[in-house]
Amino acid sequence: MALAVRSLSDPFTTLIRQIDADFDALTRRANGVNNRAGTFVPPADVHRDGEDVVITLELPGIDITDGVDVEVSEGKLAISGRREAGKDDGVLVRELRGGEFRREFRLPEGVTGENVEADYDRGLLRVRVREVVRKPAAPAKIKVRGIEGS
């Protein structure tokens, strides 16, 4: 990747654009467009924390040890899993979604699985992607060498 391209492209902005695209897809699915039976899309918040980006997914009622996978592959962070649907015994209205889910977020170049950590507490999965937003390097004065004696 050329240095000029890297300096023009803020990784956080790229991540936000991907989230906007994900939100558009979420809206289409919520309105019945491209909705597959047995799937749901958990809501997500994404925020900046210094040089890190933190993605928080709402995943109540999920067995986190067997029901969720977080992986980095081919420049993407994928969070997938399954929430068991409730029993149908006497259900009059069902608004709690069950089934499979998958959320993907494009990662900036150079971000690997070593930059990612995840924790789960009270129904919220927090995935921290470390060192995504890098501070620009300070300007450096370069000494120009010339031919001696001319």
Q: CA 146 → CA 4, 142, 143, 149, 150, distances in Å?
A: 27, 13, 10, 9, 9
Whether residue 68 is contained in a domain is answered as: yes
Q: List per-residue pLDDT tens for the chain, 150 residues long.
A: 333 333 345 666 677 767 766 766 665 555 443 445 568 889 999 999 998 999 999 998 888 888 899 999 999 999 999 988 777 778 778 777 788 999 999 998 889 999 999 999 999 999 999 988 777 788 999 999 887 755
Output the pTM of the full model: 0.65
DSSP assignment letter at 46: E
Whether residue 124 is contained in a domain is answered as: yes
Whether residue 111 is contained in a domain is answered as: yes
Q: How many domains does the chain have?
A: 1
Whether residue 142 is contained in a domain is answered as: no
pLDDT at 68: 94
The one-letter amino acid at 9: S
**Residues pairing with 141 in the sheet:** none
Whether residue 139 is contained in a domain is answered as: no
Look-up of token digits 């067997």? 66
Sheet of 76-83, strand order: 68-73, 76-83, 99-106
CATH number at residue 125: 2.60.40.790
Give the domain extent around 114.
Answer: 3-86+96-129
Q: Is the dihedral of CA 95, 98, 100, 104 positive or negative?
A: positive
pLDDT at 4: 33
pLDDT at 147: 78
Whether residue 121 is contained in a domain is answered as: yes
pLDDT at 6: 37
Q: CA 149 → CA 10, 44, 142, 144, 146, distances in Å?
A: 46, 66, 21, 15, 9
Whether residue 143 is contained in a domain is answered as: no
